[in-house]
Amino acid sequence: MKKIIFTEKAPKAIGPYSQAVEVNGTLYISGQVPVNPETGNMPEGITAQTEQVMKNIGAILEAAGYNYNHVVKSTCLLNNMDNFQAMNEVYGSYYKENPPARAAYGVVKLPLGALIEIETIAIK
């Protein structure tokens, strides 16, 4: 049975989707853009945007009873692959040991003009 996960500590969905869905001990977190849920604004630059995305993911993980150690797969979408190294440094600070599997893609455009979006899968 699927359970819809929602927290005020992460941005509300900007379309017909849920922040996350849990099914049989697996949590699927929708792509998170760097919107600060308190202000509705996005920070400037790839480093600050990646940090905000990871905070949003953390808030959703916590709301569902998970943490970063439960993450098994991430997909990172960048509007410019020249930002890969800076994104990687911030992302890596959240997964110092046993990092999850990951893919990273360069895309033409992201929602709200974001520089980065990350979707995440976690398993208990």
Alpha helices in 15-67 (DSSP H): 46-63
pLDDT of residue 45: 98
Q: How would residue 7 be classed by pLDDT, with cut points 50, 70 and 90?
A: very high
pLDDT tens per residue across span 73-118:
999 999 999 999 999 999 999 999 999 999 999 999 999 999 999 9
Domains along the sequence of the chain with CATH: 2-123 (3.30.1330.40)
Closest by CA position to 46, among listed 106, 124, 121, 123: 106
Given a cut of 90, whether residue 27 has pLDDT beyond it is: yes
Distance between CA atoms of residues 16 and 11, nearest Å? 14
Closest by CA position to 48, among listed 80, 86, 95: 86
Q: How would residue 14 be classed by pLDDT, with cut points 50, 70 and 90?
A: confident
Secondary structure of residue 83 in the 3-state scheme: helix
8 A C-beta contact, residue 29 and residue 22? no
- pTM of this prediction? 0.97
Distance between CA atoms of residues 78 and 86, nearest Å? 11
